[in-house]
Structure 1
């Protein structure tokens, strides 16, 4: 078991480096070498995590010996401009979103579950997923892919079938229209108000569509790209009513989490079709009105730190006393070999030492060695965080305050 999770941690570290791969792309590396430390310092200071800040450096083809720094960070733009005034640096900053998008810098996910990649290629690793109706920022186009930023600030590439580009005004029209959210686990939209008719697409928990007409047993709904389909009304609820009803509370988070018991583990997965560990926690919180960070390591950096450890190891009694339902428990597969203890797994605490997590499948285990469902992976626990009940955290992560929702 321990070797299995060490292997997973290695994969995680490899995956994270893919975001930084080829971020410097210049032809004359010898001439560029004198600027290498400068751009590395920029990356370490302003863009240490390629999952949430885009940074690319390449030749300026119109001016020999000069370079373009392409980035999503206004901090990098300001820094380079200030430095350039002082010392005449050979860098020009191109701030995303790209002007070539011609104002279509917003988007709506157009598939029930869209796969987002670490690079603009179907063969690239899946970084995460987003659900139908999710509003995103569109930063640039590369071939048949778009670099997008999800509501939690995660950067990845989606193919053009997965996102419908919008202007700011068009996104506002969508977000102020009457919408419906799909509340069943799985289902379909049909060409006609009849399950025997042709299918428009599949649907999953959390999908959001525009309402065209409500008519008894079926609602006619519109996709971001204009397609229309009929969906059983029993599988839907009015989106605004749903938003008003949901609360960031532990019982609700655990109710969604338990609905996914038995769902298979899927690297990068964030839907009821398949989830990874942090996609599972993200989805459980999202369906209760909170948009939390995407990856386990990012989730670990936020919230209230909880006292569950003694001398570097989990203290079972202390943990049971101090944890509350809905708290997040974090693990490090390389805990015994790496002093940095990179976070490689996350679970949601239930009660009495039990937690629910995506590991192979979504399942319920205990960190109490005396329990029948004890999981030895508990030996790798390194900490816990609380989001619920934290007013500052909830205020800054509430779904209702995100543009497009």
Structure 2
């Protein structure tokens, strides 16, 4: 079991990282080529390739049980899961499968965990969404990243809403299909998702709306900038960095 595993577009260590497999996630192996396994993630259906040496097999029964359950997430920037050979460091947003308050379960093995976990029984509020989002501030940008040590724009929003109990798809152009449209930026509320497009109209960026016409998004780092009807204005660079396309509201 590892903290974070890169999932790649192809069967090479040089291939593009398309997403990351974080601790506790479950997946199905759908293909194999040489020393590479093609995975489909149980949570969002995303596909990519990992080095077979980073594969942790689970039983078919465990996989089915995992898919049917709601799993808490780690709520601290860094904690440890106690394993027999060495403690495994895990970061914010990692899955805690079948956590009972003292330990997690992988297959039939129990592993002690003494950190803080999210509450899967409670419905998150918009205020809690913002509270979770702020935990990621200053996380460096990483294409395909989903961890506190490297995250991209849609990985950031997926992790924040996932911790709060709502499963978004992986990429921004997929996430935009969720929620109800907010027609004017002046009607946006904290916790709404704002989407941005390129010159061809393709959704390429996403961020979380804050109070006071601000937005939190992953751009170089997880940061806060100004949001208006044109898009995201970067005061430090004195220019717009992204063009606003649409705002959506997720009902948690």
TM range (shorter): 0.7 to 0.9
Distance 1:373 1:186, change over 3 A: same
Give structure 1 regions of 4+ aligned residues with deviation exceeding 4 angstroms.
172-177, 209-214, 219-226, 371-375
Written as runs of structure 1 = structure 2, the 5 A alignment for 1:9-28 is none
**Is the 2:20–2:145 contact (alpha carbons within 8 Å) kept by the matching residues of 1?**
yes
**Is the 1:268–1:275 contact (alpha carbons within 8 Å) kept by the matching residues of 2?**
yes
Q: Which residue of 2 aligns with 1:243?
A: 120
Deviations 1:131-182 (A, max 9, x none): 22212232122222221112212111122243323343232466799x8753
Match among 114, 117, 129 for residue 5 of structure 2: 114
Q: Which residue of 2 aligns with 1:363?
A: 223
Written as runs of structure 1 = structure 2, the 5 A alignment for 1:215-226 is 219=102, 221=104, 223=106
Written as runs of structure 1 = structure 2, the 5 A alignment for 1:258-273 is 258-273=134-149
**Is the 2:234–2:241 contact (alpha carbons within 8 Å) kept by the matching residues of 1?**
no
Q: Within 1, Cα distance between the matches of 2:83 and 2:241?
A: 49
Whether 1:283 aligns to 2:143 is no
Q: Any idea what SS the aligned residue of 1:170 has?
A: helix
Whether 1:152 aligns to 2:44 is yes
Deviations 1:59-104 (A, max 9, x none): xxxxxxxxxxxxxxxxxxxxxxxxxxxxxxxxxxxxxxxxxxxxxx
**Is the 2:194–2:207 contact (alpha carbons within 8 Å) kept by the matching residues of 1?**
yes
Whether 1:294 aligns to 2:170 is yes
Match among 178, 199, 209 for residue 86 of structure 2: 199
Residue segments in structure 1 that go unaligned for 5+ positions in a row: 1-109, 193-197, 309-318, 390-405
Residue segments in structure 2 that go unaligned for 5+ positions in a row: none
Match among 329, 332, 335 for residue 194 of structure 2: 329
Written as runs of structure 1 = structure 2, the 5 A alignment for 1:33-72 is none
Distance 1:291 1:163, change over 3 A: farther
Match among 141, 144, 166 for residue 32 of structure 2: 141
Deviations 1:164-204 (A, max 9, x none): 23343232466799x87532111223468xxxxx7332111
Q: Within 1, Cα distance between the matches of 2:33 and 2:233?
A: 52
User: In terms of Rg, which structure is larger?
Assistant: 1
Cα distance, 1:349 vs. partner? 0.5
Q: Any idea what SS the aligned residue of 1:346 has?
A: strand
Whether 1:304 aligns to 2:180 is yes
Whether 1:184 aligns to 2:76 is yes
Instruction: State TM-score, norm by structure 1.
Output: 0.54
**Is the 2:58–2:107 contact (alpha carbons within 8 Å) kept by the matching residues of 1?**
no
Q: Which residue of 1 aligns with 2:243?
A: 380
How many correspondences in the alignment?
A: 246
Structure with a larger share of its residues in strand: 2
Distance 1:224 1:202, change over 3 A: farther
Q: Which residue of 2 aligns with 1:22?
A: none
Distance 1:306 1:202, change over 3 A: same
**Which of the pair has the greater relative contact order for Cα pairs under 8 Å at 6+ separation?**
2
Q: Any idea what SS the aligned residue of 1:164 has?
A: coil
Distance 1:213 1:248, change over 3 A: closer
Q: Within 2, Cα distance between the matches of 1:279 and 1:202?
A: 20
Cα distance, 1:363 vs. partner? 0.7
Cα distance, 1:111 vs. partner? 2.0
Q: Within 1, Cα distance between the matches of 2:242 and 2:116?
A: 42
